[in-house]
Amino acid sequence: MKIYLKALGCRLNEAELEQWSHDFSVAGHEIVKDGNEADVVVLNTCAVTTEATKKSRKLMNRLHRENPQSKLVVSGCYATLEERDVAQRLGVDLVVSNQQKEQLPRQVMDEFAANTMPLIAMNPEEPSLFLRGKQRAFIKIQDGCRYRCTFCIVTVARGEERSRTIVDIIEEVNRLHLQGIQEIVLTGVHVGGYGSDLNVSLFELVQALLQETDIPRIRFASVEPWDLPDEFFTLFENKRLMPHMHLPLQSGADSVLRRMSRRCKTADFASLVQQARDFIPDFNVTTDIIVGFPGETDEEWQQTLETISAIGFGHIHIFSYSQREGTKAARLPNQVCKEIKKARSLEIHQIADKLKSEILQSQIGKKVDVLWERHKPENTGQVRYSAYTPNFCRVETIVDNTVLLESKIITTTLTDFSSNRGILKGTIA
């Protein structure tokens, strides 16, 4: 069969696509880049906000409309929370819940009578089509979360924590490295809680990856700012661990954090960030902020602005609060109106842009190792490459079209930055 894989939402969804790609390819099926060519279309949906739910529905409809002859398989958080509705939608042939998604390739092959080994099967060491041209791979290390933040529907959709074994993760990383992957991103619903069900920890996992793999670069996806041991940042003594973490704050007011059922106070968060910066040069922290959480007063909002200004972030993902049925926050009184959320969102975007520019300015003149990724031709006969610095600042360089940088780690001098685009400029020696 020809299989087309598509994901909306988080990096965890992308990591699951990567695993499905491998499982289908090993069984001898072809992963295609165009949904119109596919016999089976697999969509990994998102439900983190109401807008994500709408996008999931629209994409389901579009994929069926563009290739009505294919089998449409839907999984992910939206498909799990609204399984009956999704199953009844026009064109949907199979719904696979989050609890069953590790078996999705087998279910697809069984359901559509394609479970016999084809004549040509992929050697496990060969790169799948899904990987070609990529330098970075997302590694799913765990799923689910044992905490219940009042705004979060994902923990409802993903269920309890389930961790992969260290041996299994190491095998995947080594396989991807053999296929040319230079950088991995450890991802999950509650990454910091990795191993809670296996009597191991994220600290031990990273130690094992550093000892038993040769992957040049390791990053973390979003990590909640708790459950990290005191010695966690000593791991960054190994330069293969990139000096950046995305630590979601969500609000800079302790009273709002209590209503969110967050397990961290602003002072604890600031102390954690300072610990990282004291220990690791140029350590970059990015974060999430929810605007207009139920009951958020003008005073609480000002506290948030003061907190983020005092801490400083390389980037802030800003979300207007989205009321999600099935969460405790949806029943909280004093829901904030759209006009106030819009005004506050504009205000925090201005501060976030200023903080980002300050971080980028501080990088000018430094020499860093960059894993160059995408490129596009310029009208001058040159090529523009883009990538990320080790501390996850976006960087671009322009070189002659005879210079090949893609998938290479090259020392780059950071010479300038574009404040309106939020991108560094670099030169190659």
Arithmetic mean of pLDDT, 87-105: 89
CB neighbour list of residue 419: distance below 8 Å, 6 or more residues apart: 353, 357, 360
Residue 322 reports pLDDT greater than 90:
no
The chain-wide mean pLDDT, for the chain, equals 90
φ, ψ of residue 255 to 5 degrees: the values are -65, -35
On the question of a common fold for 2-111 and 136-362, the answer reads no
Write out pLDDT tens, residues 265-305.
Answer: 999 999 999 999 999 989 999 999 999 999 999 999 999 99
pLDDT at residue 378, as a whole number:
83
Domain chopping of the chain, boundaries: 2-111, 136-362, 367-428
Q: How many residues would you count in the chain?
A: 429
Report residue 11 as tokens.
């990096």
pLDDT at residue 198, as a whole number:
95
Write out pLDDT tens, residues 364-409.
Answer: 999 999 999 878 888 788 999 999 999 999 999 999 988 889 889 9
The CATH number of 136-362 is: 3.80.30.20
User: What kind of architecture, by CATH, is found in domain 2-111?
Assistant: 3-Layer(aba) Sandwich (3.40)
pLDDT at residue 85, as a whole number:
87
pLDDT at residue 129, as a whole number:
39
Arithmetic mean of pLDDT, 199-204: 96
Residue 164 reports pLDDT greater than 50:
yes
Give the best-scoring range by mean pLDDT among 24-28, 180-184, 240-244. 240-244
Cβ-based neighbour number of residue 103 at 10 Å: 12
Residue 159 reports pLDDT greater than 70:
yes
Regarding pTM above 0.75, the answer is yes
- DSSP label at 365? T
Which is higher by pLDDT, 361 or 230? Answer: 361
Residue 113: band (very low, low, confident or very high) from pLDDT cuts 50, 70, 90: low
